[in-house]
Amino acid sequence: MACCFKMEEKHQVNHEFMENGRKLLEELITTCDGRCNIPLRTFSYKDIWQATNNFDRSRIVSFEPDFTLYQGFMEGRPVSIKTYKNVPARWRFGASPFTDIAIGAQMSVHKNVLKLIGCCLKFEHPILVHEFTSNHKLLNDYISKPQDSQLPSWKFRIKIALDIANAVAYLHSTVLSRPVIHRDLTLRNIVIVVDQSSYLAKLTNFSYCLSIPDGETHLKLDTVTGTSYFLAPEYASDGYLTEKSDVYAYGVLLFCILTGRQPGKFFRDKDESHSLSSLFWILLILLCCKKELRRGSCEILQNYHKDVLVLMQKTDQL
């Protein structure tokens, strides 16, 4: 009886491997012209079980709407193991773990992207294995829990913003022969790594990515996917998707980084000094002095309008 059960279990694992392998190949053909230029390891069913200690709940480091992250150990080193949930429901909105693998693998060469080490195709849904950074937090933790996670200095906020911009630019112009749109640039998809008082931002979660076909300038989608407040108006209302959709989301991220506030407060706050339009003008002023900011000089802010200083004092300890 036990022998029959093991044979049935092995058959099921092989079925999942074949089915997921087929879907991944289809994604690679559709998205990457059938090529994956980055070496990607495949892990066995046993590797994942052992790495997570049978998915021990004490190993969970993050619960997200689409997935759960575990800290695991493989070959003596820590790794981050990503298990998807509600996959069929998410697929209806355009999210796919196979897209996460295909684009994530191509993006892993960039220093501002969380490196994808490999995947396991022997479960019902693919499981991804990423590098594990020992001293890190999601950008969302810095913004939503300021009492627990002190925001970095002004100099390093600019560094974080530039890191994210570099990763997005690489996604749009380099990773494939055609532009790839992330579609979910949010606080939860940015990992902040702290190393010897330095900050490094890394982009992650490519499951919602779409590429613009050759010869086209945009995509027209019937179903709009994304996070409230980060959706570009033309995409939210008409399903009109271009690289500018990510640029809009990046702008919202930038406001969050500069002010230390959740995006919803930009739209709900009745205080004019905190309104989205006021923040836009502040951002414009800051961009005008970007060379000085890159050198880490905060003194230049003293030469600008006192309202800028008032708002900065409310949101940052320089």
Rg (CA), the chain: 21
Burial pattern 120-155, b for ≥16 Cβ within 10 A else e, equals bbbbebbbbbbbbbeebbbbbbbbeeeeebebbbbe
Asked whether the beta carbons of 125 and 132 are under 8 A apart, the reply is: no
Residue 56 catalytic?
A: no
Catalytically annotated residue among 33, 184, 269, 307: 184
Taking the C-alpha atoms of residue 89 and residue 95, their distance in angstroms, rounded to an integer, is 9
Residues taking part in catalysis: 184
